[in-house]
Amino acid sequence: MIRNDAIFDTIRMFQEENLDVRTVTLGLNLEDCSSPVLAQLLDKIEAKVVGTAGNLVSAARQVERTFGIPITNKRIAVSPIAAVAAGHGVDALVQVARRLDRAAATVGVDLIGGFSATVQKGMTPTASALITSLPEALSSTGRVCSALGVASSRTGINMDAVLRTGHTIRAISEADRANAGFACAKLVVFANMPDDNPFMAGATHGQGEPDAVLNIGVSGPGVVKRALQRLIEGAEALSAGGDPESQLTLADLAEEIKVTAFRITRVGELIGRELAQRLAIPFGIVDLSLAPTPQIGDSIGEILETMGISQVGAPGSTAAVAMLNDAVKKGGAFASSSVGGMSGAFIPVMEDASLARAAAEGSLTLDKLEAMTSVCSVGLDMVAIPGDTPGETIAAIMADEMAIGVMNHKTTATRLIPVPDRQAGEMVSFGGLFGESVILPVHDVGASDRFVRFAGRIPAPLHSLKN
């Protein structure tokens, strides 16, 4: 039986606490578009994207009106283009990126992901060409996003790919100098890259997925924060009244997060299944990831502050993120058998006002962020670094993050943005959902050069041998 208070709680989540369906992402297989003739390849890609996703935006708006629930982003994720465009070179791949961009504009989606390659154990010639194409492809398109899978717990870390990607990120930044290197924000480098992630910039339609599928990303840091505040305020009021049983523990906070995550997930699945039915395609997964925005009240950092970490980055921050991430996953898994993607807590510095403030004040450093990523859902996300950071040092930072994912059988990633002509302590702003942040210092630049130049492959850990 649905209780009135549960209905009012759900309404409050949307009206007062910034709950939204952060993204509806149409996953689309483009492998049947492959052709050795470039013109045919481009035409097939555009025809399939436009033909399949043509009603996505209008149907999503209808669902918004029906349920009164905002859907912030409408997006598409396609098969890794390194496979779809096999046999083609750098110039052709740039044209593929531009055609994807045009198709995305035609159907009205915000972003299109999948200009991607999986190179965790080695590179095909086309995957190599795709990496080479990234500076021009990402700087000359507005909607195209890319992901590179360079490591997995099963295969280890492809340091050839990591080193090359480090230099490529510098080249992307230089190619997009006019926009302060923003194009780097459209590239995610993964360990254990998921096949069904609906969140950009890392969304890719992986192997084994249906021809077309609808995945949902639900967010709600503000909802979790307010739930914790109400719990704590209620306990304090009881304590002031002399109730000896009112003392909260961290287990009580974790339980409240879990219950809240359950409710958020149920709402997300309802919206996802309704939209999938209207589009006549299968529903895939709901990804409950607490993805913050620069808006005050929609912040992972504010959740940690509510939990008692008065300065994000202080001792205890990693433990608090671990508890938050675990409780979110438990609540989501209990709510739905279709939970997927990454489902946890994101800590993108530029996109979270509280994290950006902590970085500006010096309490949240690159080193502390790395520690926190060992227990959250992604990694070093939307981190601005000095524009003159060498490619080898960028590669070493990525290698550390990939190692965390490989050794712990979890998804980790980096989205590093070297900002041209700016140094640590200066500000960079990209606006909108991408936010702003101080540029974080990178210590001991060059001290890892010899290590990463050995290249080759860091072997898979012993616990990868599970058969």
Taking only the tens place, the pLDDT of each residue in 351-403 is 888 888 899 999 999 999 899 988 887 888 889 999 999 999 999 999 999 99
Identify the pLDDT of residue 178. 93
* Helix or strand run (H / E) with residue 197: none
Identify the pLDDT of residue 296. 64
Considering Cα of 266, then 204, then 275, then 66, what sign does the dihedral take?
positive
In the predicted model, residues of the chain with pLDDT beneath 70 are 1-19, 240-246, 293-297, 464, 467
How many Cα neighbours within 13 Å face the side chain of 74? 22
Identify the pLDDT of residue 245. 63
Q: How far apart are CA 88 and CA 83, in angstroms?
A: 10
Beta strands in 269-379 (DSSP E): 283-288
Identify the pLDDT of residue 6. 54
Q: How far apart are CA 376 and CA 33, in angstroms?
A: 37
Identify the pLDDT of residue 4. 45
Identify the pLDDT of residue 57. 93
Give how far Cα 132 sits from Cα of 1, 119, 260, 359, 456, Å: 57, 14, 44, 32, 19
Give how far Cα 440 sits from Cα of 144, 152, 376, Å: 26, 28, 20
Identify the pLDDT of residue 10. 59
Identify the pLDDT of residue 241. 66
Identify the pLDDT of residue 12. 59
* Three-class secondary structure assignment of 206-235: CCCCCCEEEEEEEECHHHHHHHHHHHHHHH
Identify the pLDDT of residue 93. 97
Identify the pLDDT of residue 242. 64
DSSP state of 428: E
Residue with tokens 């926190």: 372
How many Cα neighbours within 13 Å face the side chain of 162? 34
Cis upstream peptide for 201 (omega within 30°):
yes
pTM, entire model? 0.90
Identify the pLDDT of residue 13. 59
